[in-house]
Structure 1
Amino acid sequence: MTLVTDPSAPRIAIVGATGAVGGTLIDLIERRGLRYRAVELVASARSAGAELTVDGRSYPVHAVEDFDFSTVDLAFFSAGTEASEKWVPVATAAGAVVIDNTIAFRMDPDTPLVVPQVNAHELDRRPVSGVIANPNCSTIPLVRVLRGIEERWGVRQAVVSTYQAASGLGHPGVDELKESSRAALDHPGEEYPGKEFVPSLAFNVIPKIDRFLDTGFTLEEQKMLQESRKILGLPHLDVTTTCVRVPVVNGHSEAVWIECQAPVDRAELVEVIAALPEVTVHDRESPREFPTPATVKDPDRVHVGRIRVNPNNPRAFWLWVVADNLTIGAALNAIQIAEELIARGTL
Structure 2
Amino acid sequence: MGYKVVVAGATGNVGREMLNILAERQFPVDELVPLASRRSLGTEVSFGDQTLKTKDIEGFDFTGYDIALFAIGSDATKKYAPIAAKQGCIVIDNSSLYRYDPDVPLVVPEVNPEAVDGYAKKNIIANPNCSTAQMVVALKPLHDRAKIKRVVVSTYQSVSGSGKEAIDELWDQTKGMYVPGQEVEPKVYPKQIAFNVIPHIDVFLDDGSTKEEWKMVAETKKIVDPAIKLTATCVRVPVFVGHSEAINIEFEEFLDEDEARDILREAPGIMVVDKREDGGYITPVECVGDFATFISRIRQDSTIENGLNIWCVSDNLRKGAALNAVQIAETLGKRVLKKG
Partners in 1 of 2:62 and 2:289 — Cα distance?
34
- Secondary structure (helix, strand or coil) at the match of 2:337 reads coil
The aligned residue for residue 333 of structure 2 is 342
**1:17-40, CA deviations, whole angstroms, 9 ceiling, x for partnerless residues?**
000011111111111000111111
Q: 1:331 to 1:15 in 2, by over 3 A?
A: same
The aligned residue for residue 304 of structure 2 is 313
Q: Does 1:36 align with 2:29?
A: yes
2:272 touches 2:294 (CA, 8 Å); kept in 1?
Answer: yes
The aligned residue for residue 275 of structure 1 is 266
2:104 touches 2:118 (CA, 8 Å); kept in 1?
Answer: no
Partners in 1 of 2:250 and 2:108 — Cα distance?
23
Partners in 1 of 2:121 and 2:293 — Cα distance?
31
Aligned equivalent of 1:266, options 257, 262, 266: 257
The aligned residue for residue 220 of structure 2 is 228
Aligned equivalent of 1:304, options 295, 305, 310: 295
Q: 1:298 to 1:281 in 2, by over 3 A?
A: farther
Which letter maps to 2:325?
A
2:172 touches 2:184 (CA, 8 Å); kept in 1?
Answer: no
Q: 1:331 to 1:100 in 2, by over 3 A?
A: same
Q: 1:193 to 1:298 in 2, by over 3 A?
A: closer
Q: TM-score, normalised by structure 2?
A: 0.95
Q: Does 1:333 align with 2:321?
A: no
- Name the count of aligned residue pairs: 337
Report the Cα offset of residue 191 of structure 1: 6.2
1:117 touches 1:277 (CA, 8 Å); kept in 2?
Answer: yes
**1:227-257, CA deviations, whole angstroms, 9 ceiling, x for partnerless residues?**
000001x223101000000000000000001
Aligned equivalent of 1:203, options 178, 195, 209: 195
The aligned residue for residue 131 of structure 1 is 124
Q: Does 1:217 align with 2:229?
A: no
2:105 touches 2:119 (CA, 8 Å); kept in 1?
Answer: no
Report the Cα offset of residue 312 of structure 1: 3.6
Q: TM-score, normalised by structure 1?
A: 0.93
User: 5+ residue gaps in structure 1?
Assistant: 1-5
Report the Cα offset of residue 71 of structure 1: 4.2
- Secondary structure (helix, strand or coil) at the match of 1:162 reads strand
The aligned residue for residue 109 of structure 1 is 102
- Secondary structure (helix, strand or coil) at the match of 1:250 reads coil
Report the Cα offset of residue 129 of structure 1: 0.9
The aligned residue for residue 76 of structure 2 is 83
The aligned residue for residue 3 of structure 1 is none
Which letter maps to 1:206?
I
- Secondary structure (helix, strand or coil) at the match of 2:197 reads coil
2:173 touches 2:183 (CA, 8 Å); kept in 1?
Answer: no
Report the Cα offset of residue 345 of structure 1: 2.9
Report the Cα offset of residue 53 of structure 1: 2.4
Partners in 2 of 1:134 and 1:29 — Cα distance?
16
Report the Cα offset of residue 296 of structure 1: 3.3
The aligned residue for residue 48 of structure 2 is 55
Q: Does 1:93 align with 2:86?
A: yes
1:264 touches 1:314 (CA, 8 Å); kept in 2?
Answer: no
Partners in 1 of 2:144 and 2:156 — Cα distance?
27
2:13 touches 2:317 (CA, 8 Å); kept in 1?
Answer: yes
Report the Cα offset of residue 340 of structure 1: 0.9
**1:29-62, CA deviations, whole angstroms, 9 ceiling, x for partnerless residues?**
1110001111111111110011222122222111
1:112 touches 1:127 (CA, 8 Å); kept in 2?
Answer: no
Q: Which stretch shows the higher mean deviation, 34-43 or 310-319?
A: 310-319
Report the Cα offset of residue 346 of structure 1: 3.4
- Secondary structure (helix, strand or coil) at the match of 2:45 reads strand
2:62 touches 2:89 (CA, 8 Å); kept in 1?
Answer: yes
Q: Does 1:152 align with 2:140?
A: no
Report the Cα offset of residue 298 of structure 1: 6.1
Matches within 5 A, 1:10-25: 10-25=3-18
Which letter maps to 1:170?
G
Report the Cα offset of residue 193 of structure 1: 2.5
Partners in 1 of 2:50 and 2:287 — Cα distance?
31
Aligned equivalent of 1:292, options 263, 283, 292: 283
1:209 touches 1:218 (CA, 8 Å); kept in 2?
Answer: yes
